[in-house]
Amino acid sequence: PGANNIVVLDAGGVMAAGTVKLDRMMRTEVQGSAVGTVTLNMGTVAAGDRIWVTGYTGTGSGTGALQWQKTSGTATVDWAGAAQLRSDAPNYVTCSGICRVTASGTLVLGAYTSGFTTPTVYGHAIVLNNG
């Protein structure tokens, strides 16, 4: 596959004919940064969409955490059965994962840090279209 392509696999994991360009699967891409907390407005999402998030924070000393969760909107999401996605680590923390939209509506996601003193939080999210 060329750049920005995703290989299409059938249910058995065998490559099906052709590839699908990432920009055809992606509905929304949002990124931002802020001290302590970053919020990303995902707009309107549909049930069945998947949202890939990644974030980074830290101050180089101490142990802290970074957590993704829904902050507002009418949509609901599921983080593999949990209400949020969280990572803990010393010095610097990355937190990445995928959530599933379980009910359509508007959605704002937030990445929050704890344990570090006034760090900048960086966030990036991509909504993958369900169909």
Quote the pTM value.
0.79
Q: Measured on CA atoms in the order 20, 124, 71, 63, is the torsion positive or negative? A: positive
- Listing DSSP states for 34-58 in one string gives EESEEEEEEEEE-TT-EEEEEEEEE
pLDDT in tens, 69-123: 999 999 999 999 999 999 999 999 999 999 999 999 999 999 999 999 889 999 9
pLDDT at 14: 56
Within a 10 A sphere around the Cβ of 107, how many other Cβ atoms?
A: 27
State the Cα–Cα distance between residues 127 and 64, nearest whole angstrom: 27
Map residue 97 onto helix, strand or coil. strand
pLDDT at 1: 43
From the list 68, 72, 99, 63, the residue with the least C-alpha distance to 86 is: 68
